[in-house]
Amino acid sequence: MLGREHIERVAEHVWEIPKTFRNDMRVPARLYRSPILWRSPRIFEDSPTCPKDPWSACPHGDCVLLEFVPKESVQQTVPCRHIPLNESGETLATLYNTATNEEIQQTLREWLLKRIAELEHVADARAPWLEKKAS
């Protein structure tokens, strides 16, 4: 299967799959594309729950994630990228520049599990008479 590790950038908008990728390739395959098309998905922005149009700024009032965004980051173009995900203060904005996709997914998974546990705790405190479903 073809992965990013097989594709080499040879010029600004030119990418190449070496002929060593498959035995039946006699010459390298060239791809002509903008690098932006190769980007990894943006976790929150590419989600079906995101109310904004692709490639646009966030329509602040419609985003369910705003309650997690620090006040100093609410005016950012895409505020959900600035949600602190761990005790170190890492955000998607910092992780997109420094982490692998696997590290981003693991950090986000831990953040989501923590938020879910907090929400369940609040729900239990508000309605103690409701039975908790067995997992």
To the nearest whole percent, how much of the chain has pLDDT over 70? 84
| Look-up of token digits 């498959």 | 22
CB-based burial of residue 72 (10 Å sphere; 0-12 exposed, 13-18 middle, 19+ buried)?
A: exposed
Q: According to the per-residue pLDDT averaged within each range, which of 9-13, 15-19, 61-65, 109-113 is highest?
A: 109-113
**Higher-confidence residue: 75 or 49?**
75
Give me the chain's average pLDDT, please.
83
pLDDT confidence tier of residue 55, bands split at 50, 70 and 90:
low
The model's pLDDT over 62-120, given as tens digits with 9 standing for 90+, comes to 788 888 999 999 888 888 999 999 999 999 999 988 888 888 999 999 999 999 999 88
Tell me the C-alpha distance between 80 and 59, whole Å. Answer: 11
pLDDT attached to residue 27: 93
pLDDT of 39 over the 80 cut: no
pLDDT attached to residue 34: 61
